[in-house]
Amino acid sequence: MRVISDPERLDRMFFALADVHRRAMLDRLSRGPASVSELAGPLGIALPSAVKHLAVLEHGGFVVSRKVGRVRTYAVEQKALDAMEAWISKRKVQLSAQFDRLDVYLKGK
């Protein structure tokens, strides 16, 4: 997988998930597409507030929207989840290598 290195894109991705309502929306959408009102309802937030949160998620690359007739439907875009997972995974690999080196060092003493 291509590792995303564009700093501003990564900023937008991590920022988008730093909010409990946006995480709840992404959680809901990961179980199937939904409209703004279907997303706002269970969270007890007003539609304009939901629209703003969805814009942040869209800006972060996590969701895409499509308008059919008068209803706009949102769906998860998996690439951003993959990119974020890849970023974290790379740091875990580095951390693990660091522990391995320490282990070799201590056993060599």
- Residues forming the site for a copy of itself (CB under 8 A): 7-8, 10-15, 17-20, 23, 26-27, 30-32, 76, 78, 81-82, 84-85, 87-89, 91-92, 94-95, 97-98
DSSP structure class, residue 31? T
From the number of C-beta atoms within 10 Å of its C-beta (0-12, 13-18, 19+), residue 33 rates as middle
Residue 17 and residue 60 in contact, taking contact as beta carbons nearer than 8 Å: yes
Quick one: 7 or 70, whose CB is closer to a copy of itself?
A: 7
The nearest distance, CB 84 to a copy of itself, in angstroms, is 6
Geometric angle at alpha carbon 94, from 82 and 92, rounded to 5°: 45
Query: Residue 40 carries which side chain, given as an amino acid letter?
Result: A
The nearest distance, CB 15 to a copy of itself, in angstroms, is 4
The nearest distance, CB 88 to a copy of itself, in angstroms, is 5
Quick one: 67 or 91, whose CB is closer to a copy of itself?
A: 91
Residue 87 and residue 10 in contact, taking contact as beta carbons nearer than 8 Å: yes
The nearest distance, CB 41 to a copy of itself, in angstroms, is 19
